[in-house]
């Protein structure tokens, strides 16, 4: 999930977006998934446009 998000969006990121992502990936994967799926509250430092984009999950391939 995290890699798919990076692959899909990183080419449009600003330096601040990259800094946000680098801080985010230092967190536990389980927490990041919970924030993206909406099962955990997003901490203030990660809330905002980047997290909203991550929460769309439009970058995850779902086999049919």
Q: What's the domain range around 33?
A: 2-55
The answer to the question of residue 64 being in a domain is: no
The answer to the question of residue 62 being in a domain is: no
CA distance 33 to 16: 21
49-62 pLDDT tens trace: 999 999 998 888 87
pLDDT given for residue 64 in this prediction: 82
Q: Which residues are CB-neighbours of 10 under 8 A, at least 6 positions away?
A: 18, 21
The answer to the question of residue 63 being in a domain is: no
pTM over 0.95: no
pLDDT given for residue 17 in this prediction: 97
The answer to the question of residue 29 being in a domain is: yes
Domain count, the chain: 1
CA distance 37 to 56: 9
The answer to the question of residue 19 being in a domain is: yes
Q: Which residues are CB-neighbours of 5 under 8 A, at least 6 positions away?
A: 36, 53, 54, 59
The answer to the question of residue 60 being in a domain is: no
The answer to the question of residue 61 being in a domain is: no
pLDDT given for residue 59 in this prediction: 86
3-61 pLDDT tens trace: 999 999 999 999 999 999 999 999 999 999 999 999 999 999 999 999 999 999 888 88
């Amino acid at each position: 999930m995290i890699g798919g998000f990076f692959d899909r969006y990183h080419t449009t990121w600003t330096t601040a977006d990259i800094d946000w992502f680098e801080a985010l990936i230092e967190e536990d994967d389980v927490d990041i998934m919970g924030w993206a799926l909406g099962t955990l509250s997003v901490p203030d430092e990660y809330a905002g446009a980047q997290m909203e984009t991550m929460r769309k999950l439009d970058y995850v391939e779902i086999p049919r």
